[in-house]
């Protein structure tokens, strides 16, 4: 059975590359009728961020990435949090020590730093020099038992090569003498990520490991560990980098948007998921908009590219806009309401009427405040704004039109969008005017702006009879002055 794990570290927000790894693993597991497992890799306690675990849960829930096993879904392979598996790792590390595939290292951080500086001074790349690998095992055990601080390091061969196969990058072979003796167990007794993931993947019967291509350089060391234990390796799938431009990869450390940043800016989870699915995977068709079931049906590991993917904020906004337009109107209203509450229109107008204007005019919910903030008061403007070449309209024509409109609207029994529309259109016809010769000056009078999300009719309906009449009178006084 296909068993895919997603193993995030609770060290902060969910960055885009991390979320894509979760998505690809989920899609492959579901496409293959396999299992998707959530495992929390929290052995790096120095980088642990309180509440980050909840961020992981919330992000997966919001994006529709469901898992079959995890910390809150026991599938018989737990615990699913690495810090709760501490005793498991030490057992396997000590097995490697007995086999000669690992060894106790007593070098202090100060000693290691001195050697590193010496290498740098000589222009050489620092690599641990196996200083402690030659300590007799019995002596090393006594020193460890006496309480002397130690770590356990992998004993990488100094000769020969190691090879592994990756579904994306193919067969890869490296010389063993280029590899460092990485730490397996840290001084605090907890495993490093590099060791824990091998043990956990084996014990949890993971069939496919999907991770970023930055882990390619560590994979030969994992291969050596699998061989030392006599275990079968999972199938590796290293995913291409996501770049912000031609030279820099997307990185939260560089201030690039995380999933939470995008969500808080008003991007829809389903749009984010759709977009990042295409960052490194090609469906083989021209289709760009995918529902989650469609992604599951179309997804294949074979169509993952080895070339870096470029994160394009403009394309993401376009896609988000398409999802916004497709929302049921009531759902759009619900999602838009918090953004009205953050704007200058808070509590002043009918949000449903505003939503009719906004749904087809925004690509992101965070655009709403900027687009509606003009409503509470007319922007300062000059008389020349009422002139319009296309409509053959000057200030005198605008004054005449507004005078007609003021009288007509004041007499309306019902002040709603349909009534306002019919009134203004009929007014234009009765007076031999083009629609624009009536609607343009009304729009300017109500907003003081050359362009607005809605036209004269929509603005009047939103503002209401009293405010509309007030603004029309003010515009007439301006044009008379």
Positions annotated as catalytic residues are 252
CA distance 16 to 77: 28
Phi/psi of residue 308, nearest 5 degrees: -60, 150
Query: DSSP readout, 389-401?
Result: TTTTB-HHHHHHH
Other C-beta atoms closer than 10 Å to the C-beta of 100 total 11
- Asked if residue 119 lies in contact with residue 125, where contact means CB atoms within 8 angstroms, the answer is yes
User: 455 is written with which tokens?
Assistant: 């036209």
Structure tokens at 461: 């309906």
Do the beta carbons of residue 63 and residue 316 sit within 8 Å? no
Helices of type H across 246-394:
259-264, 269-277, 292-298, 313-326, 329-341, 351-358, 368-372
Residue with tokens 């107008």: 349
Contact 275, 63 (CB under 8 A): no
DSSP result, 56-89: HHHHHHHHT---SBBTTB--SS---BGGGGHHHH
> Among 100, 123, 120, which residue's Cα sits nearest to residue 112?
120
Q: Which tokens belong to 39?
A: 């495992």
Structure tokens given for 459: 């603005």
**Contact by Cβ (8 Å): 206, 80:** no
Q: Which two tokens stand for residue 225?
A: 């560990």
Q: Are 49 and 10 in contact (CB under 8 A)?
A: yes
Coil, strand or helix at 244: coil
**Do 69 and 33 contact (CB within 8 A), yes or no?**
no
Residue 237: φ, ψ to 5°: -135, 95
Rounded to whole angstroms, the Cα distance separating 443 from 376 reads: 14
Angle at 305 between CA 304 and CA 310, to 5 degrees: 115
Helix H or strand E encompassing 53: helix 52-63
DSSP symbols for 338-360: HHHHTSTTTTTS-HHHHHHHHTT
Residue 76, judged by CB atoms within 10 A of its CB (0-12, 13-18, 19+), counts as: exposed
Q: SS3 for 7? A: coil
Q: CB of 405 within 8 A of CB of 469?
A: no
């Amino acid at each position: 059975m296909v068993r895919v794990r997603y193993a995030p570290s609770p060290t902060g927000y969910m960055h885009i590359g991390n979320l894509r790894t979760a998505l690809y693993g989920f899609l492959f597991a579901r496409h293959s009728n396999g299992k998707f497992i959530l495992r929390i890799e929290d052995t790096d306690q120095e980088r642990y961020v309180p509440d980050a675990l909840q961020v992981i849960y919330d992000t997966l829930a919001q994006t529709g990435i469901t898992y079959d096993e995890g910390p809150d879904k026991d599938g018989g392979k737990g615990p699913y949090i690495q810090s709760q598996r501490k005793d498991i790792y030490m057992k396997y590390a000590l097995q490697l020590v007995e086999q000669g595939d690992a060894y106790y290292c007593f070098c202090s951080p100060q000693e290691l730093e001195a050697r590193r500086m010496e290498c740098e001074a000589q222009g050489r790349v620092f690599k641990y020099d196996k200083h402690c690998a030659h300590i007799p095992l019995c002596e090393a055990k006594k020193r460890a038992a006496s309480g002397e601080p130690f770590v356990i390091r992998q004993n990488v061969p100094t000769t020969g090569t190691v090879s592994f196969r990756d579904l994306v990058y193919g067969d890869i072979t490296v010389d063993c003498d280029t590899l460092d003796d990485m730490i397996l167990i840290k001084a605090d007794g907890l495993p490093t990520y590099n060791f824990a993931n091998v043990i956990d993947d084996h014990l949890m019967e993971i069939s496919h490991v999907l991770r970023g291509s930055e882990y390619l350089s560590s994979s030969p060391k994992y291969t050596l560990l699998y061989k030392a234990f006599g275990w079968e390796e999972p199938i590796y799938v290293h995913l291409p980098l996501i770049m912000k431009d031609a030279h820099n990869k997307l990185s939260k450390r560089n201030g690039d948007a995380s999933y939470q940043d995008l969500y808080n800016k008003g991007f829809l989870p389903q749009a984010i998921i759709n977009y990042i699915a295409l960052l490194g995977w090609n469906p083989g068709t021209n289709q760009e908009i995918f529902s989650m079931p469609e992604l599951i049906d179309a997804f294949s590991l074979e169509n993952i590219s080895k070339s870096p993917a470029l994160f394009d904020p403009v394309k993401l906004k376009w896609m988000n806009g398409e999802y916004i337009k497709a929302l049921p109107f009531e759902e759009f209203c619900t999602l838009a309401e918090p953004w009205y509450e953050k704007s200058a229109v808070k509590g002043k107008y009918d949000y449903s009427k505003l939503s009719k204007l906004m749904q087809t005019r925004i690509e992101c919910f965070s655009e709403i405040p900027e687009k509606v903030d003009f409503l509470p008061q007319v922007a300062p403007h000059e008389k020349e704004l009422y002139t319009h070449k296309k409509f053959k309209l000057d200030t005198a024509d605008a004054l005449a039109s507004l005078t007609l409109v003021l009288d007509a609207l004041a007499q309306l029994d019902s002040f709603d969008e349909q009534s306002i529309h019919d009134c203004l259109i009929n007014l234009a016809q009765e007076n031999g005017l083009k629609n624009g010769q009536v609607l343009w000056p009304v729009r300017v009078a109500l907003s003081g702006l050359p362009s607005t999300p809605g036209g004269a009719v929509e603005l009047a309906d939103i503002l209401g009879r009293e405010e509309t009449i007030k603004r029309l009178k003010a515009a007439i006084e301006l044009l008379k002055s």
